[in-house]
Amino acid sequence: MKKTFIVLMLISLMFYFSGCAAIFKGSNSKLNLSSDPEGAKVYVNGNYYGTTPIRILLKSNQTYTIEFKKEGYKTVTRNITNHVGAGWVILDVLGGLVPVIIDAATGSWYELDQKNINALLEKQQP
């Protein structure tokens, strides 16, 4: 009985001292990127990440400009924004002040507006 009580107390403290979104979601989001045709180079905010198809991990509390580049094709640009997940905020408020502070500081409340992006590349005219 004493061991069970200690375990339950430790679990309760863990949840109290961390935000709901930080525990269940984290501060990153997965983004699936593809193109037609495949093999386009992917640049996120000017940094090269690889070629399509690719899955990348991005901070949820930031916005991004994603470029798809392939020789012989026009560059396609997509802007990714974010929003605050209202459900996380409500759960944190119900949990007290500490979870609110943690999730707000880590950016765990945020979610990217898109999870999948497919770029249709057009051939350049010679």
Cis omega (within 30 of 0) for bond into 37: yes
Burial class (CB in 10 A: 0-12, 13-18, 19+), 44: middle
pLDDT of residue 36: 94
Q: Identify whether 39 is part of a domain.
A: yes
Q: Identify whether 31 is part of a domain.
A: yes
Q: Identify whether 126 is part of a domain.
A: no
59-112 pLDDT tens trace: 888 899 999 999 999 999 999 998 776 666 566 666 666 666 666 666 667 788
CA distance 49 to 63: 16
Domain that holds residue 74: 2-120
Element spanning 3, H or E? helix 2-16
Q: Identify whether 125 is part of a domain.
A: no
Q: Identify whether 104 is part of a domain.
A: yes
Q: Which residue has the higher pLDDT, 119 or 92?
A: 119
Give the three-state DSSP class for 48: strand
In sequence order, which residues have a C-beta less than 8 Å from that of residue 14 and are 6 or more positions away?
23
Q: Identify whether 60 is part of a domain.
A: yes
CA distance 101 to 121: 43
User: Closest by alpha carbon to 121, among 81, 79, 77, 80?
Assistant: 77
